[in-house]
Structure 1
Amino acid sequence: MSTQEKVKGPASYFPSIEKKYGRPVAEWQQLIADSPLTRHMELVAWLKSEYGLGHGHANALVAHHLAARSK
């Protein structure tokens, strides 16, 4: 990817997620994968309540995880 290409979709949130919460995205993805929850909004609510993520950040992580899992 060239430096002029913009990252789109959920991944566009990843740099700010890592900066704000101090964990790499791979760690968030592993937490989601290890969770017994499977539904999108359940996972979003869990990330918000357990880890203090904002709605947009939690939603981006879950959307990315679920999209990757369905491929």
Structure 2
Amino acid sequence: MPDSVKGPASYFPSIEKTYGQPVQYWLDLIASRPEEKHMQTVAWLKSEHGLGHGHANALVAHQRAVKR
């Protein structure tokens, strides 16, 4: 049985289905805003792009963890 995806990446299939963009699209947007704190970027994704809190938070958490 294959290992299941855990952590923020477990939201990725739902994010792609719900918002009609590949995950890389969102990660690139987040990467373009490195000066912001985590929750500022989450709020921006919610207000400007209509993402739900959980999806926005998962994307930002994943992008920021990868960047470290």
The bucket for the TM-score relative to the shorter chain is over 0.9
Q: Percent identity?
A: 66
Aligned to 2:33: 35
How many residues align? The count is 68
- Flag structure 1 segments of 5+ consecutive residues without an equivalent: none
Task: Please say which of residues 13-22 and 30-39 is displaced more in the overlay.
Answer: 30-39
Q: Using the TM superposition, give the Cα deviation of residue 37 of structure 1 relative to its aligned residue in structure 2, in angstroms.
A: 4.2
Q: TM-score, normalised by structure 1?
A: 0.90
Task: Please say which of residues 36-45 and 13-22 is displaced more in the overlay.
Answer: 36-45
- Flag structure 2 segments of 5+ consecutive residues without an equivalent: none
Aligned to 2:50: 52
Distance 1:38 1:11 in 2: 21
| Conserved? CA contact 1:29–1:61, under 8 Å | yes
Post-superposition CA distance 1:8-43 (Å, at most 9, x none): 000000000000000000010001111254210000
Distance 2:4 2:45 in 1: 26
